[in-house]
Chains A and B, each alone.
Chain A
């Protein structure tokens, strides 16, 4: 028996193609959302000025504080917190309320692609801002070249991954887009006060500093700092090889916290509003 019904297989979508489609739509939405865009662009810029003047004051009490290294890693952290964590939490909540997530799930995109696609503009914007900060900082502050660029990039990647997963988890506890400002507050405060963004960890008492280094958001920011300056501020700077040894505990902790956040997101994330 021969079959005459053989039709050409239609062009299948690819995972990458779906991510691009979702990311493109999400980028359009971000560009049309003035509040979110303002938060994502103005906040990190304002933070550079705030942190810079704070560090200046602190340095009068502690002259050996490396102001430049602290500034760079603090502002990179701020960018990740505001542009990825806060912005994406609000985006997930908004898409959930508008039933966009539910609708997307009726199509071919997998759950991970939907969450990833929604994160595309936030992640790209954060990376662009980090590059601008890095290049601008290097030029203006006449910084040395990064000691271990691999570690620097790894820190950024792990930091972004953590922020995306934390945003997914936090969105589960957020009913409206407006209340994202409140639901993100605990982690925002913890990061700003305990992860070396507002207060450099090296000026804290030793035990408190050790505790702060174990907080969820600290390890990734510390990796960025070690990657560029060869130390997290707790000891003297080392070379390329030496930074790996210094970075190892931070790397382990970063991966551990991401795993915990993934567990929380899987446990609590909701695709549609409560009926």
Chain B
């Protein structure tokens, strides 16, 4: 894995046993990142998901080289991003969670300044055009809307045609149209070979964009893989309402099903690994008994469900040092 391997085979990002601790040793301090491993291949779009406070941004800052890890190693394009900052920075682009551009400068002045700080910068207007801000170039940053500021931030991250792009919650605060435009842009960049590491709150964003993802919870990666892999072991869900139990429905009870059944009043939820078979049995039973299933809804596992379930499971597994789920991480 030294100089002998070509840069094509080397992963864009390689993280091993990464730890980050704030504050002093002992209970006064806080472990934000508790030993995570990640590999992001070249040209891949990797999403880092997690609840608030899971350690996503802390992890991003270590990979971006903004801070030194308490433990473990980070390699970005084959170099330590913190110690070899001068080697790594010209090849990456970073979009932080919050802007950080002086409010009294115009969009064009911000671009000019950032261009002076960026090796091989593309023309400022080209970068502004990519995010649809060209017609706002004479406007001061303080007069931009929240969404426009996010797009300015993205434009500055793209200025140096980065090989690896870091996006910390890129679409937070964007209206649906602007979000769709950002997704389109990110897909285009990926198609051109840019490696992208992004964090997001929006699970559909990850489902839509990511080649692979990792879900973080309390400073650890609890599961990872492609979207299909992450949701593979998750049950599908069927919900419906049973009619009231009177008259001919007096003795109503469900047939034996390959599902975990939970009831909330008359509303029944089935969680099943075999959606089609279970649904067929259920519908057959309903037809046989001439029962109307109110508000029937059947859906395959989604990333959102997987995410919520994982967060809940990890919470139950509170204070042990090795959460049960870490074993299933791919």
Name the A residues within 8 Å of B94 (CB-CB). Answer: 106-107
Judge if A2 is at the interface, Cβ distance under 8 Å.
no
Per the bound structure, the CA–CA distance linking A39 and B103 in Å amounts to 21
Q: What is the 8 Å Cβ interface bit string for chain A, positions 45-67, against chain B (1 contact, 0 not)? A: 00000000000000000000000
Per the bound structure, the CA–CA distance linking A99 and B109 in Å amounts to 17
Q: What is the 8 Å Cβ interface bit string for chain A, positions 1-42, against chain B (1 contact, 0 not)? A: 000000001111100011011101100110011000000000
Interface size on B (CB < 8 Å)? 29
Judge if A239 is at the interface, Cβ distance under 8 Å.
no
Q: What is the 8 Å Cβ interface bit string for chain A, positions 214-234, against chain B (1 contact, 0 not)? A: 000000000000000000000
Judge if A154 is at the interface, Cβ distance under 8 Å.
no
Judge if A132 is at the interface, Cβ distance under 8 Å.
no
Interface size classification for chain A: 20 to 34
Name the B residues within 8 Å of A100 (CB-CB). Answer: 100-102
Per the bound structure, the CA–CA distance linking A264 and B102 in Å amounts to 27
Q: Does the CB pair B113–A108 fall under 8 Å?
A: no
- Select the stretch in B9-17, B116-124, B125-133, B248-256 that faces chain A: B116-124
Q: Does the CB pair B100–A108 fall under 8 Å?
A: no
Contact residues of B: prevailing secondary structure: loop
Per the bound structure, the CA–CA distance linking A21 and B121 in Å amounts to 13
Min CB distance, A109 to chain B, in Å? 5
Q: Does the CB pair A108–B119 fall under 8 Å?
A: yes
Q: Does the CB pair A21–B115 fall under 8 Å?
A: yes
Q: Does the CB pair B100–A103 fall under 8 Å?
A: yes
Name the B residues within 8 Å of A17 (CB-CB). Answer: 116
Per the bound structure, the CA–CA distance linking A101 and B66 in Å amounts to 12
Per the bound structure, the CA–CA distance linking A101 and B102 in Å amounts to 10
Judge if B99 is at the interface, Cβ distance under 8 Å.
yes
Can you report 9 residue pairs joining A to B where beta carbons are below 8 Å apart?
A11-B120, A18-B117, A21-B113, A25-B109, A99-B98, A100-B101, A101-B100, A104-B117, A108-B86
Q: B residues bordering A, Cβ < 8 Å? A: 64, 66, 85-86, 89-90, 94, 96, 98-105, 109-110, 112-120, 160-161
Query: Besides the contacts A28-B104, A102-B100, what 6 more A-B pairs have beta carbons closer than 8 Å?
Result: A21-B112, A25-B102, A99-B100, A106-B96, A107-B94, A110-B86
